[in-house]
Each structure stands twice: as structure tokens, then as C-alpha cells.
Amino acid sequence: MTVMSRADQRLTPDVVQSVTFPTSRLGRRGFDEDHVRVFCKQVEAELVRLLNERTSLQEEVRRLRARVLGRVAGDSGPGYRREDAHIQAVGILSKAQMTADQYVADAQEYSRQLAEDARRRRDEILSEARAHAEMVMEEAHSRGSQAAHVALVEAAGSPSSSQRGELEAELAYLRTFCDVYRTHLRAYLDALLRNVDEWEKAEQSAVSEVPGQLPAVLRRVAAPVARPEI
Amino acid sequence: MDPGCLRDSFARVAMHGDQVALFFYSDLFLRHPETRELFPVSMAAQRDRLLNALGQIVADADKLDRLAPFLQGLGRDHRKFGALADHYGPVGESLLATLAHFSGDAWTPELAAEWNAAYQLVAQVMTDAAATDARRNPASWDATVLSHELRTFDVAVVRVATVQPLYYLPGQSVALEHPLRPRLWRYYSMANAPREDSTIDFHVRMIDGGPVSMALTRATDVGSWLRLGAPVGTLMLDTHSGRNVLLVAGSTGLAPIKALAEQLDGLPNPPTTHLFFGAQRAEGLYDLPALEKLAATAPWLHITACVFDDPRFAGERGYLPDIVARHGPWNGYDAYLAGSTTMTDATANRLVSLGVPDNQIHIEDFGWSEP
């Protein structure tokens, strides 16, 4: 059985008995933390459910016992009791509250995962871009110094004034070439950063939805995840 | 009042865990629907808080010297949530109904009278403290956002102005409520010493999945309104020790540390002060220019910027506690640490092992953790 199953699936003793956790990624020891955490959540939810059931059963027992005792004492009808109705209403409201709590927790967990993912991908893109930029700069640098070296060797061989003029022109050209390369690189990096910004803006508009409502992206996704048991 | 009897009774009820608080709030909301408005949508954290507070009250029922300040704080604290003296009656009613429900056959008229007497006392102390506080302070402070700068993709510096003056000491923090996340309060440190124009800066770091921090970093504009609670916190400068000062800030732990640095700057003879500001990457040193500007006119202030994981950073690289330890000894210093729990714990441990006495180490633990 995979542990990453839905939170509303009932947990049975045989599931607990047969559960397996995948071992974690390289460089870490033990079970994968996320899997264990999800499983603990499931166990916790199941316990809460069992406790709920137990409390309402106890309530039922008490009510039935009272009714039986009432009959014995000569009270003919079961009768409608206001107290019972209130306790039942408390039970219903409690269930509704638990459902709401679960929805909020699921939405928060989902947004946590999204944000974590976005953060990781942002780091990846930036470090790739940095590596790429360094490579390009190095290449440009080595080409530039090669050209300068060739020019110097040639200049040393026959230092006529016309040749010197040519070499100076070539050096100027190389400098311009370097600048152009740098500008290109900057534009490339800027574009990447803009990309990152756009993600952020999308996320921002998702967060700034009307209060009391889940962000659109969460509304769409949270509902199926958190469907309560019927 | 019989504390032992209350403790036994509460232990029996508390066995039911979360169910107890769940029943209590449902009962309260059914009897007095208007009280639902005072709470957030999700009640999970709220239920834990209720049980913890009840547990503490019952545990300390015969230690009035400890219980009284706790209840007074609780009473003052509840003002910002909109709790009124009129609410205490309904709460007591529902509390007794809850205890009766979970006590089963053990619930007797005598026990009910015990609990009722205890609750009346608790409510009295709380409402008295709230009333005393109300003579001096508003229940909460409205503040409007003057500027909002996203310094890195996950750290924002927010400047607000309060309508009524908010008096606080540098190093303190306030609970803060965002209009998009009603009834959710999170603590943030003031990042400046009190100013004449009563503006306040907050440094907000976006916590993945954190509803309030996400709204503050991503969905706050100039003109937004925030609500602030009363200032709290014990990270306060000891201006009489005569010792030098070591300030250590990890990420937005800089907020209270910067407020302390500004306070030192206002002293006639500031002590020699070393400020270490650490971040994961160079871009995380989101307020370094402001610190350097302060240091430029403050010869007593030395600033060291540290980055944990960025081979391109030219300055100090490594784990903040290690870097601080390397720059020691710090025996003659008062140390003030703020940031993630892991960082502040590790730094405090290093300082203690270097011979800095415990009572010279002051910590503001931000609760969040970071690798």
C-alpha cells in the first residue's frame, strides 16, 4: 500500500501492519520524512474519528439507558427531550467544524507544497542561468585574449605605423565585441528574472482573493482533495 | 475552592482530548451565535490553545502568585480579539455544560458548584485586568500601510503608521491581523526604535503555506489597513550593564536587532557593538545597505554580513553560529540573538561553551526553523 493516499480513506489495522515507507533520497538516512508525516496524519485522523464515534455511542447508550430506566419507573412514552436535541445539534456543528478545519488544513498544505516547489524551481533556474552566464563570459574572455595575443605577436614582428593602426582598430573592435556580449548576457538574465517575477505576480493575484474565500487556484484543487466522508 | 478536586475532575475530562474543546465551542456558538464572529474559520489551533490554558489554570489553581499574572495577561490579550465582559457569562455556561457532558456520572451538584466558583474567580481576574488596561490603551491599534517593498522574492519591508500612538520598547513585538486573514494573529517585531512620527517598520518573511505571512508579503499595498495588538516581548536592551554588545540576526530576525541598534545609536555613549547579520544567500541580506548607512555615522558599531550557501559571496561564508564563535571571545558582552529556533539555539550554545554567562544571553525565538 502506498502511504501517499487520500486523507479520507479509512485506516485499518492491516494497513498499519503492512505499511511500507520508501527509503529517502541519497545522502539521508532512514525513511522518507514526507511519507512518514503523511502516515502519521492519517493515523491521527483515524483516531479522532474513532474517538468521535465512541463519544456519540456513549451518548446513545446513556440516552437509551435513561429511556429504559424511565420505562421501568412507569414513564410510558420516550418523549422528546430538549437536552437531547441540543446535544445532537452540538454533534452536527462539531462535525461541520471538523470538515471546515480539514479544508483549511488541506488548502494550507497545498499552498505550502506549491510555494516550496516554486522556490526550488526558482533556485534551479537561477543557478543554471548563473552557470551559463559564467561559461559565456569565460569563452568571450578566452577568445578576446587569444585575439589580443595574436595581434601582439604580429605587431612585434613588423611594427610599422600602418600595422599598429590596424592592431589598434582590432583591439577597439574586440572591446566592442566584449561589451556587446556583456549586454546580450545581461538581457538574457533580465529576461529570466522577469520570468521569475511573472510567476510571483501570478502567485500574488492568487493570494489576494476576496477574504473568506479560498484563492481561485486552491478552490479548484482543494475540494477534490478534501472531500469528506459521506 | 478545592484545587485537588478540580484537578482530578479536569484530568478525567481532558482524557477526551480535542473532543472537549470541540464540544465547548459548538455549545457556545449554538447558545450564542454572535460569538462565532470572534474566531477564525479553522478552529484547530484555537482548540489546542483553550485546552492548554485550561490545563495551566487547573495545574496552578493553588499557586495564585503564578496564576494571577497569567490570567491578567490572558484578560488583556483577549481585548484585541474583541472579547467583552459580557462574553464571560456565556463562556462560563458552555464550559460547565462541557465539563458536565464529559464527566458523565461523576458530575455532581457539589462539583458543579466548585467549578462555577473557580470560573467566576478566573473571569473576575481577567475582566478586571482588561478593564484596567482599557483605561490606558485601546483594544487594538489600527495602522495604515505607508510603503511596501518586496526586497527579495520572499522578504518584504512594510512601513505602517498607527492612528493612535503605540508605545513600545525596541526589541518588542506585536500581534498583527491582516484584513484578508481575519481573526488570525501573528507576532512581528518592530524593526525600528520608536519614532516621532509614530511610523513602524515590519520585516516579513514569507513562510511557505503561512496564510498571514503570504498575505503580508504578496497581497499588501500602500493604503492597506492592518490591526496591531499590544506590544509584548522581553528582548530588551540592558543599558546599565556597562558591557559591550553582541547582536546576532538571522534573516528577518534582523527586525528586533535593528531596533536595538537604533536604540544604542540614541545613547550618549554607545557601547562597542558587533552586529552579525546572516542569510542563506547574498540576496537574503535584504537590509544591509541600511545597516551600513547606520554604521557609517556610528564608529562604535561593527557590522559583519554572513552568507551560508553562496560561493560567490565575497564576505564571511558559513554557518552563522560558527562565524560568531570564530570572532570571539565574547565574555565581556551582552548577547542579543534573533532568528530561527535552530540558529538562536546553536548560537546560544556556542556562546555558553565560550564562557558567556547564561544571563548575558537574550533570545528572541521566531518559531520558524530553517536548515
Burial class of residue B93 (count of CB atoms within 10 Å of its CB; 0-12, 13-18, 19+) = middle
pLDDT at A214 exceeding the cut of 50: no
Torsion of CA B341, B342, B346, B348, to 10 degrees: 0
B244-364: CATH architecture: 3-Layer(aba) Sandwich (3.40)
Percent of chain B clearing pLDDT 70 (strictly above): 98
Are the CB atoms for B270 and B276 separated by under 8 Å? no
- Tell me the average pLDDT of chain A: 75
Q: Is A54 on the interface with B (CB under 8 A)?
A: no
How many angstroms separate the CA atoms of B85 and B204, rounded? 34
Burial class of residue A117 (count of CB atoms within 10 Å of its CB; 0-12, 13-18, 19+) = exposed
Tell me if the bond preceding B329 is cis, omega within 30° of 0: yes
Pairing of strands B185-189, B173-177: antiparallel
Of A147-156, A173-182, A198-207, the range with the lowest mean pLDDT is A198-207
- Kindly identify which residue of chain B lies nearest to residue A100, measuring between CA atoms: B42
| Count of alpha carbons within 13 angstroms of residue B201, beta-carbon side | 21
CATH 1.10.490.10 in chain B is located at 3-134
B279 phi-psi bin (left φ>0, alpha ψ -120 to 50, beta other): beta
Are the CB atoms for B185 and B175 separated by under 8 Å? yes
CATH 3.40.50.80 in chain B is located at 244-364
Q: Do B218 and A52 touch (CB under 8 A)?
A: no
pLDDT band at B189 (very low <50, low <70, confident <90, very high): very high
Torsion of CA A72, A77, A83, A85, to 10 degrees: 130
- For A34-86, write each residue's pLDDT tens digit: 788 888 888 877 887 787 788 778 878 887 888 787 765 555 444 556 777 89
Identify which of A27, A28, A5, A26 has the alpha carbon closest to the alpha carbon of residue A15.
A5
pLDDT at B7 exceeding the cut of 80: yes
- Tell me the average pLDDT across A105-134: 90
How many angstroms separate the CA atoms of A31 and A24, rounded? 5
Identify which of B271, B276, B292, B255 has the alpha carbon closest to the alpha carbon of residue B324.
B276
- For B102-140, write each residue's pLDDT tens digit: 998 899 999 999 999 999 999 999 999 999 999 999 999
Angle of helix B64-77 relative to helix B109-136, nearest 10 degrees, comes to: 60
The CATH number of B141-228 is: 2.40.30.10
The residue among B48, B205, B208 with the most chain A CBs within 10 A of its CB, best to mutate, is: B208
How many angstroms separate the CA atoms of B31 and B335, rounded? 52
How many angstroms separate the CA atoms of B100 and A2, rounded? 43
* Strands ordered across the beta sheet of B244-250: B316-317, B301-307, B273-279, B244-250, B333-339, B361-365
Among A58, A90, A130, whose Cβ lies nearest the Cβ of B26? A90
Given this model, what pLDDT does residue A210 score? 44
Contacts of A186 (CB under 8 A, 6+ apart): none
Contacts of B41 in chain A (CB under 8 A): 100, 104, 212
- For B17-34, write each residue's pLDDT tens digit: 889 999 999 999 999 999
How many angstroms separate the CA atoms of B256 and A50, rounded? 46
pTM, 2 dp: 0.74
Q: What would the grid cell of residue A204 be?
A: 500574488
Given this model, what pLDDT does residue A28 score? 64
- For B240-279, write each residue's pLDDT tens digit: 999 999 999 999 999 999 999 999 999 999 999 999 999 9
Q: Is A46 on the interface with B (CB under 8 A)?
A: no
Given this model, what pLDDT does residue A26 score? 62
- For B323-355, write each residue's pLDDT tens digit: 999 998 999 999 999 999 999 999 999 999 999
Query: In a 3-state reduction of DSSP, which class is residue B32?
Result: coil
Helices (H), chain A: 13-18, 33-72, 82-157, 161-207, 216-225
Identify which of A16, A13, A14, A34 has the alpha carbon closest to the alpha carbon of residue A25.
A34
Q: What would the grid cell of residue B101 be?
A: 457532558
Of A22-31, A49-58, A95-104, A215-224, the range with the lowest mean pLDDT is A215-224
Q: Do B214 and A115 touch (CB under 8 A)?
A: yes
pLDDT at B63 exceeding the cut of 80: yes
Q: Using CA of residue B252, residue B258, residue B259, residue B260, what is the dihedral sign?
A: positive
Q: What is the ipTM of this complex?
A: 0.84
B-facing residues of A in 107-126 (CB < 8 A) are 108-109, 111-113, 115-116, 119, 122
Pick the CATH number of B3-134 from 1.10.490.10, 3.40.50.720, 1.20.120.1690, 1.20.120.1730: 1.10.490.10
pLDDT band at A186 (very low <50, low <70, confident <90, very high): confident
Given this model, what pLDDT does residue A76 score? 46
Of A184-198, B146-160, B252-266, B336-350, the range with the lowest mean pLDDT is A184-198
Torsion of CA A96, A98, A102, A103, to 10 degrees: 20
Q: How far does the CA of residue B194 sit from the closest CA of chain A (Å)?
A: 31
- DSSP code for B314: -
- Is the model more confident about A81 or about A138? A138
The two counts, helices (H) then strands (E), for chain B are 11, 12
Percent of chain A clearing pLDDT 90 (strictly above): 15
CATH 2.40.30.10 in chain B is located at 141-228
Contacts of A56 in chain B (CB under 8 A): none
Of A59-63, A132-136, B210-214, B321-325, the range with the lowest mean pLDDT is A59-63
